Amino acid sequence: MDQKESVRDITPWDGTLSSSDFFSAACAFSEKWKRFNASVPPWLWVPSRKHHLLSSHKEEGYLSLEGMCLIKSSEEQESCRSQTWKEESSISQEEEAVENATLVQSSCDEVNHYDFHIVYSPSYRVPVLYFRSYHSDGQPLPFGEIEKDLPDHSAKIRSESKWTFITQEEHPYLNRPWYKLHPCGTSEWMKLLFLGDTALNKNGFVIEHYLVSWFSVIGQVVGLKIPLGMLETVSC
């Protein structure tokens, strides 16, 4: 069979994928990630059901990568974080036993923790990257702070491409505001990615590779690198 013909037979792909395809793609993605990217935390599938009344046979959930740490040097710390507390709630010296066995550290590096979730959007039919950041004590970071952590080329990508921008919306499963990369342009550039990649074209599009390709673009905006080994689309 002529390979070119088989590709032509396929109805032009619109860049989207179904919810069950997302699950297969997610499994493949996290598998590959573990293999090629062992030095960073793994992507874990978190099963979740949104509609408790509807019984769904298909696996519903999202991919989660939590606990990425970004260590900020002490010069970068915001002094506005310190609270001026009246002493009414402190403990006087006589009350608590005087003791020296507690190590007192003079200054600590501030650490920004990042959590990333890849969630399927049924209305756009594409994956969406959600993320949030917080200090070690749990205090969430405002977007202004997060922007400082993003790589330089991220701002460039976001200003140039009308498809890539960060918004704050309610996380579909956790019901709290998370930041996300808006999915309105995803199907468009996934389509372009597919058309432009002759390797993908030759074998017909294998849905398992969707997330790897998708992440190779999205990851850049938030500074998550994808190892080259993962991008090999030849059977593996």
Partner 1 sequence: MSRKEGALLQFAPMQSSVDEGFWHRFSSLKLNKLGIDDSPLPIIGFYAPCSHSQVSNHLTLLAESLPSESSDSSLVPEPSSGNRNKCSVPGILYNTNTVEGFHALDKMKLLKEEAAKIWNDIVTGKAVEDCSMLSRFLLISFADLKKWSFHYWFAFPALMLDPPAALVNLRPASQWLSAAEAESLSTACNEWRNSKSTADVPFFLVTIDPQSRATVRLLKDWDACQSDAHKILFGFYDPCHLPNNPGWPLRNFLALISAKWNLKSVQFLCYRENRGFADMGLSLVGEALITVSEGWKNTMPNAVGWELNKGRKVPRCISLAQSMDPTRLAVSAADLNLKLMRWRALPSLNLSALSSVKCLLLGAGTLGCQVARMLMAWGVRKITLVDNGKVAMSNPLRQSLYTLDDCLNGGSFKATAAVESLKRIFPAVEAEGVVMAIPMPGHPVNSQEQESVLDDCRRLSDLIDAHDSVFLLTDTRESRWLPTLLCANTNKITITAALGFDSFLVMRHGAGPFSHAHGFNAETAISSSADVHKIKDAKGKHRLGCYFCNDVVAPTDSTSNRTLDQQCTVTRPGLAPIASALAVELLVSILHHPEGIFAEGDISNNVIGTSEQPLGILPHQIRGSLAQFSQMTLVGYSSPSCTACCDTVLSEYRNKGMEFILQAINHPTYLEDLTGLTELMKSASAFSLDWDKDDDGGGGGDEDCVEI
Q: Which residues are catalytic?
A: 184
- Positions in the binding site for partner 1 (CB under 8 A): 38-39, 41, 69, 71, 82-83, 85, 87-91, 95-97, 99-106, 109, 111, 134, 136-140, 142, 162, 165, 167-170, 174-177, 182, 184
Q: Which is nearer to partner 1, 10 or 101 (CB)?
A: 101
CA torsion sign, 220 to 178 to 118 to 185? negative
Alpha-carbon distance values, 143 to 19, 52, 117, 133, 217 (Å): 30, 33, 17, 9, 21
- Least distance between partner 1 and beta carbon 95 (Å): 5
DSSP 41: P
- Least distance between partner 1 and beta carbon 66 (Å): 9
- Least distance between partner 1 and beta carbon 101 (Å): 5
Q: Which is nearer to partner 1, 89 or 198 (CB)?
A: 89
Q: Which is nearer to partner 1, 39 or 55 (CB)?
A: 39
Alpha-carbon distance values, 57 to 20, 101, 159 (Å): 10, 56, 41
CB atoms within 10 A of CB 109: 11
